[in-house]
Amino acid sequence: MNRFEKTKSEKDGLDVWPALQRAAVEGWETLDDGDLMRLKWYGLYAHNAADGHFMLRVKVTQGILTHEQTLELAAIASEFGRDVIDCTTRQCVQIHWLRIEDVPAVFSRLEAVGLTTSGACGDITRNIVGSSLAGLDADEIVDGKATAEAIHEYFLDNKLYSNLPRKYKISIAGSPRGAARGYINCLSLFGAIQEDGTRGYNIYVGGGLSSAPRFARDLDIFVTPEETAEVVAAITAIFRDSEENRARRGKARIKFLVDSVGTDGYREKVVELLGRDPSRAAANMPTPDQDDHVGITEQKDGNFAVGLVVPVGRLTGAWLAELAGHAAEYGDGELRLTHQQNVLIPHVPADRLDALLEEPLVKEFAPSAPLFSRAMQSCTGKEFCGLAKVHTKERAREIAQFLDNRIKVNGHGSDIRIHFAGCSSSCAQHQIADIGIEGVLKKVEGEFIEAMDIRIGGRLTPEPVFGTVVVKKVPNWHLNETLVKILDLYEAEHAEGETFRDFSSRTAPEWWTERLEQKDPDLEPAGA
């Protein structure tokens, strides 16, 4: 039994609450290592400085916030988090700089507006993601919002599922548009229609990133919304009860179980647990796309949703409160967080659109943002995270601005993605980006410097592909130059009308490597 499994066997993660309350009175130093780990079950991570400050992740089911919830998050960030609030790739928010003595009060305030941190981290069901236009999209097959809320409520604080082998991520997309990156989730439901017209979901399992990436695989099961909870519970229970997954921490994700038993074997286990054979997958499953919903989109009721670009996903409490005010004035108060770290104001009548677009903050977070500012996505990075090798947030912001000023946009494609991850854990999902940047360390004259591996060619299209590393350990001072060279190579070599994504899909990794590798005179040994 590895040390993580031993810690979980001694006390359930959800049972850390009394220790947390005690620490709020007596100090964070009273928490032992086991309870520090278990705090993740309530969304709390210690900052990498180990100075008593914590990051708090708040779950937001499919990214949908009421006006009251948005205002409360803004207030908490301003009062307790030094005015910093990050949007995540799972449609959550993260507030930094919390002190343990403030956590009980923060939790009470979140609970009062219907928000929770339970299950936001740890070996448990994480926040359920979905399309940013759930319930609003004219092309929606089924209301993914209602399904996600039902599954969220079923798993919330449910100790039958609070000790899983590893984290467990669910995506529910009733619309093919902006389908919440279901191919890289542990369990994904995609809207589909049976031949008789029955609407529901096809189920995929075993997606995930990090050092052993996998795309989710078709389980050949179709469920109606009414059947979803039962089948999802069965799939999850099989993962929970797999001792094979608990043997080694690095092999604990559900993707490895699917590798081991195959989709046919996993389906057989589901049939055995249910005591019946569920319907086979529907043939009519519109191809999921990865629309980021930036811009102006007409809803099925004739109102509009305005998607705004939040640079590198970072807001201040004041900005979030201002966005809440705009959502109330021009919409119905609802605000939505996207899986690409942006925000969306829905329910805007046509005759109010122009006025909303003239608001100063809306202009700053423009729905017509420059290409590379729109394309950039980044994780927390070394600023707060103990796993990260490099700083990401401000570096990513600078890179996007540099590219927008330096590169002439010439057919790159409006959906180009550049993701900057601080380490191999892939919280920024750099393996599915057109250009993926991963922070690494490079040893120079006995000292480690920040460097980056660069991948090219990742995409979540109908035939998804993980990006391939084409150049390794680029010193941080050469990163901008290398990115420009990548884009210049595209400009010089692409066919007429060919996007960067199409060009990179037909270009061998070796072609890029040959042209990008270079000697750095600053790193040559002394006297060379």
CATH of the domain at 177: 3.30.413.10
Looking at residue 520, its pLDDT comes to 63
Looking at residue 525, its pLDDT comes to 42
User: Whose CA is closest to 479, among 384, 421, 395?
Assistant: 395
Residue 337 is assigned to a structural domain of this protein: yes
Looking at residue 408, its pLDDT comes to 85
Domain span holding position 236: 144-274
Q: Rounded to 5, what percent of the chain is helix, strand, coil?
A: 40, 20, 40
CB proximity list for 296: less than 8 A, separation 6 or greater: 304, 305, 306, 307, 353, 367
Average pLDDT on 77-93 reads: 97
Residue 126 is assigned to a structural domain of this protein: no
Q: How buried is residue 143: exposed, middle or buried, by Cβ count under 10 Å (0-12/13-18/19+)?
A: buried
Average pLDDT on 189-204 reads: 98
| β-strands 335-337, 64-65 pairing | antiparallel
For the chain, the average pLDDT equals 95
Retrieve residue 249's tokens: 């921490």
Retrieve residue 273's tokens: 């647990």
* Whether residue 457 has pLDDT greater than 90: yes
Average pLDDT on 346-369 reads: 96
- Report residue 103: phi and psi, to 5°: -60, -45
Looking at residue 528, its pLDDT comes to 35
Are both 259 and 333 inside the same structural domain? no
d(CA 413, CA 493): 15
Q: Which residue has the higher pLDDT, 387 or 178?
A: 387
Are both 93 and 110 inside the same structural domain? yes
Q: Give pTM, 2 decimals.
A: 0.95
d(CA 57, CA 197): 40
Retrieve residue 196's tokens: 């008789």
Q: Which residue has the higher pLDDT, 444 or 400?
A: 400
Are both 213 and 243 inside the same structural domain? yes
d(CA 527, CA 119): 56
Are both 31 and 99 inside the same structural domain? yes
Looking at residue 518, its pLDDT comes to 72
**Roughly how many angstroms between the first and final C-alpha of the chain, as a whole number?**
51
Are both 508 and 378 inside the same structural domain? yes
Are both 47 and 171 inside the same structural domain? no
* Whether residue 11 has pLDDT greater than 80: yes
Count structural domains, the chain: 3
Residue 285 is assigned to a structural domain of this protein: no
Are both 150 and 239 inside the same structural domain? yes
Q: Which of 115-129, 142-156, 176-190, 402-416 has the lowest mean pLDDT?
A: 402-416
Q: Which residue has the higher pLDDT, 179 or 55?
A: 55
Residue 17 is assigned to a structural domain of this protein: yes
Are both 265 and 380 inside the same structural domain? no
d(CA 5, CA 165): 8
Looking at residue 412, its pLDDT comes to 84
From 366, 381, 414, give the residue that closes a domain: 366
By residue count, the chain amounts to 528
Residue 379 is assigned to a structural domain of this protein: yes
Residue 298 is assigned to a structural domain of this protein: yes
Are both 401 and 353 inside the same structural domain? no
Are both 384 and 476 inside the same structural domain? yes
Residue 358 is assigned to a structural domain of this protein: yes
Looking at residue 522, its pLDDT comes to 59
* Whether residue 410 has pLDDT greater than 80: no
Q: What is the CATH number of the domain that holds 360?
A: 3.90.480.20
Give 70's pLDDT tier (boundaries 50, 70, 90). very high
Q: Which residues of 147-172 are buried (b: 16+ CB within 10 A; e: fewer)?
A: bbbbbbebbbebeebbbbbbbbbbbb
Looking at residue 521, its pLDDT comes to 57
**Cβ–Cβ < 8 Å for 175, 191:** yes
Looking at residue 321, its pLDDT comes to 98
Residue 287 is assigned to a structural domain of this protein: no
Are both 101 and 164 inside the same structural domain? no
From 240, 274, 308, give the residue that closes a domain: 274
Query: Please, where are the H alpha helices in 15-62?
Result: 17-26, 33-38
Q: Which residues of 290-323 are buried (b: 16+ CB within 10 A; e: fewer)?
A: bbbbbbebebeeebbbbbbbbbbbbbbbebbbbb
* DSSP helix/strand/coil, 53: strand
Retrieve residue 217's tokens: 């695989």
Are both 95 and 217 inside the same structural domain? no
Q: Which helix (H) or strand (E) holds 330?
A: helix 317-330
Q: Which residue has the higher pLDDT, 324 or 528?
A: 324
From 227, 242, 274, give the residue that closes a domain: 274
Looking at residue 409, its pLDDT comes to 82
